[in-house]
Amino acid sequence: MDAAPLQQVLEATGFFPDGEPARGLQLAAKARERRGRVFSPDASWRSPSALKVYFKFEPSTPSDIVVGEWRREIWNEGFSPLLWIVSPDKIELFNGFGEPMESGDAEANRIATFRNIDSELRELDALAGQAAFDYIRAGIDLALQKRIRALVTAPINKEALRLAGIHYPGHTEILADFSGAKDFAMMLMNAELRVILVTIHVSLREAIEQSRFLMSEAEESLAADLALSGISAWSRLQGTVTSQVKVEFARDGKTETLPITALQNLSHDPDPDARRLAHEAELKAWTSVREPLAAAMNGVKGTIATLNKRRGRRDALHQPLDDARMDTATLEALLGAMSDWFPAFRKYLNAKAKRLGTESLAWWDLFAPVGGSERHYSWPETQAFVVEQFRTFSDRLAALAERAFKEGWIDAESRDGKRGGAFCMKVPAIKESRILCNFDGSLDQVFTVAHELGHGFHNDCLKDNTVLQNITPMTLAETASIFCETLMTEAALTKAAGPDEELVILEAFLQGTTQVIVDISSRFLFEREVFERRAEAELSADDFCAIMTRAQKATYGDALDERTLHPYMWAWKPHYYRAELQFYNFPYAFGLLFGLGLYAVYKQRGAAFVPDYENLLASTGLDSPANLAARFGIDLRDRKFWEDSLKVIERRIERYCQL
């Protein structure tokens, strides 16, 4: 078998993977055994279920008459035989199961013609996916007509279905949809057992691997019972303490009592004195409650460290990476690329300091508006702006946002006793979401609303999956949210009325990306050191503050005045105190850069990207991030992918410096 085009076809179609013939593939003389006088294949493949595929190389394209003769010989041999004819200028695929015809046989049974197998392989996959779907549909129709008693199918390629524009997770859902079944499940059975799967497409290997990191049943039961008065209680304490913090703040000759969330929102105020005084008041407030918060942090981290040790975990990152279905190589590629790009973000921060008229940026100026007076968005304006931009992507996304606004899914305003930050939670019983944020009218908060609605859209794409199929790894949990932010930013920049408005939009974008790349890195460094040290001894509030300050210096560098850093960032971030959200920092960076990478694919493919994107969101509980990313030609272990996404941000930094 010395014909290079034939070898190329065998490799491209999966019959010759990794330089070795697939099981069942026979070459040269072996392939020609038991053949007739006219047709002599160069390769043949037979599956255990008698599927048969023939390959024939010809130096020049054979005539239709010759092809008809070859087809006549292989007709009905094996199950659904296929015939590949490979020549230097084209590749043709014929079915071998159509009954031979006296004339026009080759034309009637030609399935496809390819000029370049590499560039047209996706077309082949789509063709195969459509054919598989059509055959299953035909079988369902025959069964419903009671013309057959049972339907037996071979495995189907989910990627081929997707390329054909068919978005079903597998056989079960196709059978249920076209038979009208509303309550259904996949059952495995033999003479003695009947087994219904509660989840699908999560490998048995993964389940077995994770079972290695469990204590005995009695110990796991005890740990779960103790969590109610232990780690969960510490988490509730942090939430209760931080939500009750109030601060007296004097401004314009008036003193008012503000909840801590309202005080933090003053970081966006155009008045530099208000920002500085609010920052100082915030630090003083956290100082007053630092001891119970330090106790809560020690309780949470100490319990997790103990359980990790008892369960055989190698370190505190082990379970978060497993939960994220992410390997160390991917994390190292991501964090390494982020660290290399810190200088670009420092360039932005230095440029911002110059715009504000200071030598170096203070912490309280991180969110300061630039470009004149920042526009204030009313709540109705925010609703209209978000829906309008979402509609540029898809009507389904816009409709979801409209429904959320209209039906009151969003708790938007700051008020006494309300937690800070923003989040979205799903309500599975009614297949809806609910959103909390602390809206203050800034563009940053408008983007936050879009971010949380992105989570809501993700939940909407998952709503018809089973409970276990909805368990999304942390890395993919931010995909839709950051994609929506990217969508908003791109649309806003495109519609900017002039340099001043462009500057405001870029500032909002760079504020957010600096938090996700630089500040998130500081939070990762903080949490890693806390776990390492807490495994040996209890830490004081001073220890936590010192670790946090050290992490901020390592990431922000000389771009921030180190005298103004925020040592209490550990006190109010709820992720540190939730057992299920340990190291909930790198997923934000993953989501941002993955979202930017997906957005680049969207710009290339346009509307055709939308159904594939929605299918990806519906599949985040069914496969690993690496496999889902591969659908779009993305290698997450390749540092270049992360660097290419960071270059998008770097170009915006350059534009920001030019304006």
How far is it, in rounded angstroms, from Cα 405 to Cα 214? 43
The pLDDT of residue 2 is 44
Tell me: pLDDT of 387 over 60: yes
Tell me: pLDDT of 120 over 80: no
- Please tell me the least confidently modeled range out of 123-137, 272-286, 407-421: 123-137
Tell me: pLDDT of 647 over 80: yes
The pLDDT of residue 184 is 83
User: Which amino acid appears at position 599 of this protein?
Assistant: Y
Q: Between 116 and 54, name the one with better pLDDT.
A: 54
CA angle, corner 478, sides to 476 and 481, nearest 5?
135
Q: What is the DSSP letter of 21?
A: P
The domain locations on the chain are 4-119, 127-197, 217-658
The pLDDT of residue 229 is 92
φ and ψ of 504, to 5 deg: -60, -40
The pLDDT of residue 199 is 61
As a whole-number percent, the residues of the chain with pLDDT over 70 amount to 94
How far is it, in rounded angstroms, from Cα 567 to Cα 204? 45
The pLDDT of residue 639 is 92
The pLDDT of residue 429 is 85
How far is it, in rounded angstroms, from Cα 49 to Cα 79? 8
User: Which amino acid appears at position 552 of this protein?
Assistant: Q
Q: Hunting for tokens 């912490």 — which residue is that?
A: 363
- Please tell me the least confidently modeled range out of 162-176, 511-525, 626-640: 162-176
Helix (H), strand (E), coil (C) string for 141-202: HHHHCCCCCCCCCCCCCHHHHHHCCCCCCCHHHHHHHHHCCCCCCCEEECCCCEEECCCCCC
Q: What is the mean pLDDT of residues 235-256?
A: 93
Q: Per-residue pLDDT tens for 31-64? A: 666 555 568 888 888 877 667 888 888 888 888 8
Tell me: pLDDT of 180 over 80: yes
- Please tell me the least confidently modeled range out of 71-75, 114-118, 151-155: 114-118
DSSP E strand boundaries for 463-603: none
Residue 452, CA distances (Å) to 235, 393, 404, 410, 436 in order? 23, 17, 11, 9, 8
161, exposed or middle or buried, with CB in 10 Å at 0-12, 13-18, 19+? buried
Q: What is the mean pLDDT of residues 254-261?
A: 92
Q: Specify whether the CB–CB gap between 537 and 324 falls below 8 A.
A: no
Q: Specify whether the CB–CB gap between 76 and 58 falls below 8 A.
A: no
Helix (H), strand (E), coil (C) string for 199-224: CCCCCHHHHHHHHCCCCCHHHHHHHH
How far is it, in rounded angstroms, from Cα 96 to Cα 106? 10
The pLDDT of residue 623 is 82
User: What band does 642 get if pLDDT is binned at 50, 70 and 90?
Assistant: very high
φ and ψ of 325, to 5 deg: 50, 50
Q: Between 196 and 38, name the one with better pLDDT.
A: 196
Element (H, E) at 112: strand 110-114
Q: Specify whether the CB–CB gap between 659 and 506 falls below 8 A.
A: yes
Pick the closest to residue 213 from 332, 139, 81, 323 (CA basis): 323
The pLDDT of residue 49 is 63
Q: What is the DSSP letter of 76?
A: T
Q: Hunting for tokens 């920042």 — which residue is that?
A: 374
Which tokens belong to 505? 């939009």
The pLDDT of residue 124 is 63
Pick the closest to residue 295 from 246, 240, 243, 244 (CA basis): 240
Q: Per-residue pLDDT tens for 462-508? A: 988 877 778 888 888 888 998 998 888 888 888 788 888 899 889 98
Q: What is the mean pLDDT of residues 584-599?
A: 90
22, exposed or middle or buried, with CB in 10 Å at 0-12, 13-18, 19+? middle
Residues near 207 by beta carbon (within 8 Å), at least 6 away in sequence: none
Tell me: pLDDT of 93 over 50: yes
Residues near 646 by beta carbon (within 8 Å), at least 6 away in sequence: 337, 338, 341, 344, 517, 593
How far is it, in rounded angstroms, from Cα 341 to Cα 351? 16
- Across all residues in the chain, what is the average pLDDT? 88
**Cα 576 from chain centroid?**
22
The pLDDT of residue 99 is 79
Q: Specify whether the CB–CB gap between 338 and 646 falls below 8 A.
A: yes
Tell me the sheet residues that pair with 94.
Answer: 83, 110
Pick the closest to residue 589 from 630, 546, 530, 649 (CA basis): 649
Q: Between 206 and 325, name the one with better pLDDT.
A: 325
Q: Specify whether the CB–CB gap between 510 and 651 falls below 8 A.
A: no
Element (H, E) at 52: strand 51-57
Which tokens belong to 469? 């199929």
Q: Specify whether the CB–CB gap between 371 and 507 falls below 8 A.
A: yes
Q: State whether residue 536 is helix, strand or coil.
A: coil
The pLDDT of residue 237 is 95
Residues near 642 by beta carbon (within 8 Å), at least 6 away in sequence: 333, 334, 337, 338, 593
Residues near 363 by beta carbon (within 8 Å), at least 6 away in sequence: 279, 560, 561, 564, 565, 566
Helix (H), strand (E), coil (C) string for 240-279: HHHHCCEEEEEECCEEEEEEHHHHHHHHHCCCHHHHHHHH
Pick the closest to residue 184 from 193, 173, 192 (CA basis): 173
How far is it, in rounded angstroms, from Cα 314 to Cα 293? 27
Q: Between 152 and 203, name the one with better pLDDT.
A: 152
The pLDDT of residue 74 is 81
Which tokens belong to 153? 């199918």
At the top level of CATH, the class of 217-658 is: mainly alpha
Tell me the sheet residues that pair with 188.
Answer: 195
